[in-house]
A and B are shown apart, each in its own frame.
Chain A
Amino acid sequence: MADIRNVKARFLNARLTSKLSIVLFGLVLVFSAKAQGGPPPGGDHGGGGGPMGGIGLPLGFLQQDKDYKFPDDITKYTANDFLMLVRRTDIRSSFYNSDMSATISMVSVSPDRGTFANKEQIFRRDKDDAFLMLMVEPESRKGQGMLRVDNNMWRYDPTSRKFTHTTLKDTYENSTVTNNDFRRWQRSIDYSVEKLSTGTLGNYKVIIGELKANNDEVPFPYLKMYIEADRKIVLKVEEYSLSMKLLRTAYYTQYVQIGDSFVPTVQIFQDGLIPEKRSQVTYTDISTKPLPDYYFTKEYLERVSQ
Chain B
Amino acid sequence: MRLIHLKLAARNVRRQPHRTIALGGAVAFSALVMALISGFVNGMDLAIQDNVTLYSGGHVLISGYTASWSGKLQNRFSDANVAKIVESTDGGIRTVSPIAQSRATVVFGTREIQLTLRGVDWTKDQLYHDSLILSKGDWKGLESSRTMLMSAQTANRFGLSVGDQVVVRLNTASGQQNVTDYKVAAIYDDGAAGGMNTGFVAFGDLTADLNMKSNEQQQIAVFLKNSADAEKAAQTITGELSSKGFTVSRGAAANAGASNGTPSQDSSTGSDSFVSSITAPASSGTGASGARQGMGRLSSGTAIYHVSTIQELAGEIGSALGSVRWIGYAVFLLMLIVSATGISNSYRMVLLERTKEIGMLRCIGYKKKDVFSSFIWEGILLAGGAALVGVVLALPIGFGIGLIPFNPHGDFGAALVQGHLRFAPILGQFLLILVFVTIVAIAAVFLPARKAAEVVPVEALRKTA
Contact = CB atoms under 8 A, between A and B. Distances in A.
Interface stretch (B39-47, B177-185, B319-327, B401-409): B177-185
A80 to B, nearest CB: 24
B169 A247 contact: yes
A273 B177 contact: no
B179 to A, nearest CB: 4
Contacts of A274: 107, 110, 112
A239 B177 CA distance: 10
Contacts of B72: 217
A164 B282 CA distance: 13
7 contacts: A111-B110, A150-B281, A174-B265, A239-B177, A242-B211, A247-B169, A274-B107
A3 interface: no
Contact of B70 (A150, A165, A215): A215
B145 to A, nearest CB: 15
The DSSP consensus for interface residues of chain A is loop
Contacts of B273: 165
B232 to A, nearest CB: 34
B283 A165 contact: yes
Interface string A141-166: 00000000011100000000000111
Nearest 9 A/B pairs, CB to CB: A111-B110, A245-B179, A216-B174, A241-B179, A242-B178, A273-B107, A171-B265, A241-B178, A241-B177
A100 B262 CA distance: 29
B175 interface: yes
B172 interface: yes
Kindly name the residue among A165, A174, A213, A215 whose own CB sees the greatest number of chain B CB atoms within 10 A.
Answer: A165
B447 interface: no
Interface size class on chain A is 20 to 34
B179 A215 contact: no
A167 interface: yes
Contact of A151 (B69, B111, B180, B281): B281
Contacts of B267: 166-167, 170
B38 interface: no
Contacts of A215: 69-70
Given A217-B174, A241-B179, A274-B107, 20 more contacts: A111-B111, A112-B111, A150-B281, A164-B268, A166-B267, A167-B262, A167-B276, A215-B70, A216-B175, A217-B175, A219-B175, A239-B177, A242-B172, A242-B176, A242-B177, A247-B177, A247-B179, A273-B179, A274-B112, A276-B110
A243 B170 CA distance: 11
Interface size class on chain B is 20 to 34
B277 interface: yes
Contacts of A217: 68, 70, 72, 174-176, 262
B211 A167 contact: no
A86 to B, nearest CB: 19
B21 interface: no
Contacts of A239: 177
Interface in B166-196: 167, 169, 171-172, 174-180
A243 B178 contact: yes
Interface string A225-268: 00000000000000101110101000000000000000000000
Given A112-B112, A273-B169, A274-B110, A165 B277 contact: yes
Contacts of A213: 176
Given A165-B283, A217-B68, A243 B262 contact: no
B149 to A, nearest CB: 22
B132 to A, nearest CB: 28
A297 B191 CA distance: 46
B111 A243 contact: no
A269 B211 CA distance: 26
A218 B176 contact: yes
B263 interface: yes
